[in-house]
Structure 1
Amino acid sequence: MPLGRGFGVLWSANALSNLADGIAFVSMPLLAAMMTDDPRLVAGLATMYALIRLLVALPIGVWVDRFDRRTLLVTANLLRGGALLVLAATIQLGAPSLVALYATMAVVGTLESMADNAAVAILPSLVRKEQLDTANSRVAAVQLVVDEFAGPPLGGLLFALAAAAPVFAMGGLWAVAGLIALALPIRRSRPTTASVRTSVYKEAREGIIWLARHRVVGALAIIGALASVGYMLPFSILVLFASDNLGLDGTGYGLLLAFSALGGLLGSFLAPRLRSVLGYRWAIVASLALGAATLIGLAFTENAIIAGVLLALYILHAVVWNICSLSLRQRLVPDGLLGRVGGAARVLGLLGLALGSALGGILGVADLATPVLVGGVVFAVCCAVAAVTLRGDLEGTQVA
């Protein structure tokens, strides 16, 4: 199904941006480890990155609703590219600095939040409402390919050649993504002037209130937060689970993750078809039920092959859930609120990830299977909440 030139531009920019993300996933921790042998400082890079994204989510949602989203997308990618190229130059010149790495990743985390929110908010203006499921599934598919299969090995290969090589590559990819995004149409979501513009806090609060009052979108945000807890419970200790319970070494663990990503590709293909056949409510309920069943099954298996199949089905569920929930939110939220509502939902999701990670570590002390099992129970709760709250004509639902 052709989705138009505007979507093609957005898809291409997202593909390059996500490839840079995949390279960063491997190369940034390697750079930190090259600069320090303190595990706290190496792990702190990821912690700082997550905190930055949490802190900026609400104000960025306001900016996405205030300003032209194409301009924000272009600016975020160009500035990310510039920041990485400067960092790469310092490494190439023999002056690597952990402070510079932390500062650069703080800038990148802020700009990534801006680019992600702007891309989600601009999509409904590029395709028809009935094409949102297909459009989001194609974005999810390319993200899986470059994030899971292409980016990480490429990042490792480039780092082996030279420490600065993956950083130059990321900077170049983000810069090109920004230049490609220049071909998107300029379309301001709502007119604003200095005389009528209110404070960032007040505008962010409008998005939070709208989200809290809308029966369907609010329910999706709560389910998303719970699902984030359920996701991080097992995945925060999955590397240990794979080693102790499944008997896998580092190579086996990498293959396990790569195989599970194939389920996500299948999910991106199936999501629009499942939604068309089942409707949003039952497609979401079925996907969450699958997530619960796979994690509960994973908790009781010690067979690596069975675990791989279960994880692939789990990632399939996650992709279907994400596509359906995102498309439904894009259908229901007014254009002028997409950024702020998206920012508020992102805050809930990030808090869920942090809580799930902490709980996974605590529960895993006694038994590594426990956080996996509890994660399955959390998804069963999500399934029940979705079945109860997502009723009626979802696409026509108004504020309750």
Structure 2
Amino acid sequence: MSIGRSFHVLLTANAASNLADGLAFVSIPLLAASLTDDPRFIAGLATVYALVRLLVALPIGVWVDRADRRTLLAMANLLRGAAILALAISLLVGVEGLVLLYVAFGILGTLESAADNAAISLVPSYVHDRDLDRANGRISATQLVADEFVGPPLGGLLFAVAATMPVFMMGGLWAVAGFLALALPRALKRSATSSELSAPRAFWTEAFDGLRWIARNRVVGGLALVGALASVGYMLPFSILVLFAQDRLGVNETGYGMILAVSALGGLAGSFLTSRVRARFGYRMTIATSLLTGALSLFALAMTTEPILAAILLAIYILHAVVWGICATSLRQRLVPDELRGRVNAGSRVLGLLGLALGSIAGGALATIDLTLAITAGGAVFIACTVLALILIRTTDGQPPTAA
């Protein structure tokens, strides 16, 4: 059964945006490497990108709830396209430098946060509740194909032809995503709540409304807590995975890339399986089982030295992450009031980003003792996530609860 034309327009816009993201994943670091051979300045791009997304998450949540989300999604993508095209033109005429690249990357991080939040908040406006799992699965599959399979190799190929070529293509793709968003119908008018009818409140008071709502709602708060802890568990192994692959599995750069490509196939499978599994077993058991699967896959990974087996285990791990992510997103979309959806998304995102940072730091520290220790610790964290999910996330007949 078709989900609907409006959702497919949104999905196509998301696909164009994700392809640009995939190009950026390869071409921006390559541009940095062409300007400096200092690894600190190259790695600093990722640091700036992460910090910007963390700092702007809560303010953007307010704007997603205040503004027309379709217009916000369109403008975020159009502005990303304009910013990256300006960078491409600057490079083409010989105006280049790391400062320019850092500024561009900071702008892209800000606008990506706005586009992502607006898009997630828009999905329930175009999709029935019963189809949310399927819709989010398609979004996840599109993102995986664009980010993992198409974007990075295409970006490398275009960069080999001309350094500015992937940058121009990124600008064009984000512009296409912006114009497609403008083709979306306006979402149904949201009903005004008593808080919206009262006098306007301070911006930062509104920004923290999402976190306060998360803290009061058992299920969504549980999802946020599990999500933050799962982010720690994710980064514990992935922050040192390249070292594990080289030292423990004995693979070179090409072998490491192949392992990552195989692992992405697991995520693709998870994108298509989630809606069926959730319909059969309900959110609570699907989430708990997926988190337990992630734990077991990491425990097994820590014990193996075989590259092929490691690739299969990582594919199972990524499958679990996609299943968990789709279920968590669908539950939030069902349970969070429309007028708070952007701020709750933002609050959950902040907790997840903090978890990623903590996991990365802890993973590096544990790896100085033993590489497998970081991976085993990740498995232990996912065991804790499984227990929390069983305690905090309640469902009835496979459907989410209607109240906290």
Q: TM-score, normalised by structure 1?
A: 0.98
Do 2:291 and 2:386's aligned partners in 1 also have CA atoms closer than 8 Å? yes
Deviations 1:23-50 (A, max 9, x none): 1111111111111122111110100000
- Counterpart of 1:3 in structure 2 is 3
Deviation at 1:391, TM superposition (A): 2.2
Do 2:222 and 2:393's aligned partners in 1 also have CA atoms closer than 8 Å? yes
Q: Does 1:369 align with 2:375?
A: no
Q: What are the residue-to-residue correspondences of 1:237-316 with 2, within 5 Å?
A: 237-316=240-319
Q: Does 1:387 align with 2:359?
A: no
Deviation at 1:193, TM superposition (A): 8.3
Q: Does 1:43 align with 2:21?
A: no
Deviations 1:266-291 (A, max 9, x none): 10111001100100000000100000
Of 229, 234, 238, the residue aligned with 1:226 is 229
Do 2:282 and 2:395's aligned partners in 1 also have CA atoms closer than 8 Å? no
Q: Does 1:75 align with 2:80?
A: no
Deviations 1:127-161 (A, max 9, x none): 10000000000000011011000000011011111
CA change 1:17–1:134 in 2 (3 A) is same
- Counterpart of 1:155 in structure 2 is 155
- Counterpart of 1:212 in structure 2 is 215
Counterpart secondary structure, 1:398: coil
Deviation at 1:194, TM superposition (A): 11
Deviation at 1:93, TM superposition (A): 1.1
Gaps of 5+ in 1: none
One-letter amino acid of the structure 1 residue matched with residue 231 of structure 2: S
Deviation at 1:396, TM superposition (A): 2.6
Deviations 1:102-124 (A, max 9, x none): 11111110000000000000000
One-letter amino acid of the structure 2 residue matched with residue 163 of structure 1: A
Do 1:67 and 1:189's aligned partners in 2 also have CA atoms closer than 8 Å? no
Query: In structure 2, what is the Cα distance between the partners aligned to 1:7 and 1:389?
Result: 31
CA change 1:298–1:183 in 2 (3 A) is same
Deviation at 1:207, TM superposition (A): 1.4
Deviations 1:226-256 (A, max 9, x none): 0000000000000010000000000000000
Do 1:65 and 1:190's aligned partners in 2 also have CA atoms closer than 8 Å? no
Q: Does 1:105 align with 2:128?
A: no
Query: In structure 1, what is the Cα distance between the partners aligned to 2:254 and 2:136?
Result: 32
Query: In structure 1, what is the Cα distance between the partners aligned to 2:237 and 2:136?
Result: 26
Deviations 1:299-324 (A, max 9, x none): 01001111011000000000000001
Deviation at 1:389, TM superposition (A): 1.2
Query: In structure 2, what is the Cα distance between the partners aligned to 1:361 and 1:316?
Result: 24
Once the two structures are overlaid, the 10-residue window that deviates more, 31-40 or 166-175, is: 31-40
One-letter amino acid of the structure 2 residue matched with residue 219 of structure 1: G
Do 2:80 and 2:174's aligned partners in 1 also have CA atoms closer than 8 Å? yes
Deviation at 1:197, TM superposition (A): 2.5
Counterpart secondary structure, 1:396: coil
Counterpart secondary structure, 1:166: helix
Identity of aligned residues (%): 61
Query: In structure 1, what is the Cα distance between the partners aligned to 2:176 and 2:196?
Result: 32
Q: Does 1:54 align with 2:69?
A: no
Query: In structure 2, what is the Cα distance between the partners aligned to 1:206 and 1:227?
Result: 23
- Counterpart of 1:125 in structure 2 is 125
Query: In structure 2, what is the Cα distance between the partners aligned to 1:183 and 1:392?
Result: 37
One-letter amino acid of the structure 2 residue matched with residue 300 of structure 1: M
Deviations 1:5-33 (A, max 9, x none): 11011000000000000111111111111
Q: Does 1:19 align with 2:22?
A: no
Query: In structure 1, what is the Cα distance between the partners aligned to 2:130 and 2:311?
Result: 34
Query: In structure 2, what is the Cα distance between the partners aligned to 1:290 and 1:206?
Result: 34
Counterpart secondary structure, 1:3: coil
One-letter amino acid of the structure 2 residue matched with residue 14 of structure 1: N
Query: In structure 2, what is the Cα distance between the partners aligned to 1:116 and 1:199?
Result: 24
Once the two structures are overlaid, the 10-residue window that deviates more, 225-234 or 88-97, is: 88-97
Query: In structure 1, what is the Cα distance between the partners aligned to 2:30 and 2:227?
Result: 31
Do 1:216 and 1:397's aligned partners in 2 also have CA atoms closer than 8 Å? no
Q: Does 1:317 align with 2:331?
A: no
Do 1:58 and 1:343's aligned partners in 2 also have CA atoms closer than 8 Å? yes
**What root-mean-square deviation, in Å, do the aligned CA atoms of Structure 1 and Structure 2 show?**
1.3
Deviation at 1:395, TM superposition (A): 2.0
Query: In structure 2, what is the Cα distance between the partners aligned to 1:102 and 1:195?
Result: 41
Query: In structure 2, what is the Cα distance between the partners aligned to 1:38 and 1:193?
Result: 51
Query: In structure 2, what is the Cα distance between the partners aligned to 1:5 and 1:67?
Result: 23
CA change 1:352–1:176 in 2 (3 A) is same
One-letter amino acid of the structure 2 residue matched with residue 20 of structure 1: A
- Counterpart of 2:401 in structure 1 is 396
- Counterpart of 1:28 in structure 2 is 28
Do 2:78 and 2:175's aligned partners in 1 also have CA atoms closer than 8 Å? yes
Counterpart secondary structure, 1:185: coil
CA change 1:189–1:110 in 2 (3 A) is farther
Do 1:88 and 1:167's aligned partners in 2 also have CA atoms closer than 8 Å? yes
